[in-house]
């Protein structure tokens, strides 16, 4: 994969932790210069320093809350000022609210989830557009979810957000294709930040979570998820636009059981 995005400029939001960290490392190993962002600016800077040291590309970390328009626009400006342009935008950052029933979700929970996911992707894409157009094209990779595909319990606001992002992805693919800007989405499952914490702290969780996966394992952020993002970011996918790719070992086929074990207790609190 070395050289597939050599000297390209990429932004990875939420790129210091979980899936984003693996994606950042994969793109760097393929030659991309990176702006890595996250609400934890110190973590983003530390990962950027590590990637610069180990991969030979330039990587910069900065704090950016995807739910704040001015910070999203500053993120795009920083990438252009640091590297001279922008070729790849990976909208990985997301927000999960508390795991409660749909009727218990609050407007504030939905608003924050939409701000970081839907609005953050919207703002980033629109700010990136003129710079990609000036470069003669670019690649945007957005994130969908198996949760939205299956209507996962306790994630109503998150599922709604992901559905909006998929709609935005397809609209951009249709409208911006004339500028050679390709917009695609992936629906990954893997050892993200929350999944890794559960696997480490809850005995038997990993085995239970992967039992129905056709490949019988969890996806590795750098080795399993990152290469698909790299494919979409590179010229290998130059005729792929408006696509949704499930990167989950086939988990979307059987789906998964998300009904909470304590449903009666949760209903009693409504």
SS3 call for 77: helix
Strand partners, 13: 37
Active site residue 158: yes
In this structure, what token pair is assigned to residue 62?
A: 């900065």
Q: Where are the beta strands (DSSP E) in the chain?
A: 9-13, 33-38, 59-63, 88-91, 138-143, 181-188, 244-247
Determine the Cα–Cα distance for residues 94 and 135; give it in Å rounded to an integer.
28
Largest CA distance in the chain: 57
Of 41, 123, 45, 139, residue with least CA distance to 86: 139
Q: E strand or H helix at 52, and its extent?
A: helix 41-55
- The single residue of 83, 158, 176, 195 carrying the catalytic annotation is 158
Q: Is 31 left (phi over 0), alpha (psi -120 to 50) or beta?
A: left
- How far apart CA 199 and CA 70 sit, in angstroms, is 36
Which are the catalytic amino acids? 158
């Amino acid at each position: 994969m070395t050289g597939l995005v050599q000297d390209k400029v990429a932004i990875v939001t939420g790129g210091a932790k979980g899936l984003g960290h693996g994606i950042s490392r994969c793109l760097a190993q393929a030659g991309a210069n990176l702006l890595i962002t996250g609400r934890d600016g110190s973590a983003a800077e530390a990962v950027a320093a590590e990637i610069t040291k180990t991969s030979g590309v330039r990587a910069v970390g900065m704090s950016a809350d995807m739910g704040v328009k001015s910070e999203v626009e500053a993120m795009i400006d920083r990438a252009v000022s640091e590297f001279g342009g922008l070729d790849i935008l990976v909208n990985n950052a997301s927000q999960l609210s508390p795991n409660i029933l749909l009727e218990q979700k609050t407007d504030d929970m939905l608003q924050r989830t939409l701000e970081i996911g839907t609005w953050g992707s919207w703002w980033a894409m629109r700010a990136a557009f003129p710079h990609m157009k000036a470069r003669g094209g670019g690649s945007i990779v957005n994130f969908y979810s198996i949760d939205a595909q299956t209507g996962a319990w306790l994630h109503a606001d998150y599922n709604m957000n992901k559905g909006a992002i998929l709609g935005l992805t397809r609209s951009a693919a249709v409208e911006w294709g004339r500028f050679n800007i390709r917009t695609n989405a992936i629906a990954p499952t893997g050892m993200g930040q929350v999944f890794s914490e559960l696997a480490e702290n809850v005995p038997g969780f990993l085995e239970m979570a992967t039992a129905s996966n056709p490949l019988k394992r969890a996806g590795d952020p750098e080795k399993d998820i990152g290469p698909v993002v790299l494919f979409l970011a590179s010229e290998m996918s130059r005729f792929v636009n408006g696509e949704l790719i499930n990167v989950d070992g086939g988990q979307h086929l059987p789906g998964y059981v998300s009904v909470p074990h304590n449903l009666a207790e949760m209903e009693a609190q409504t």
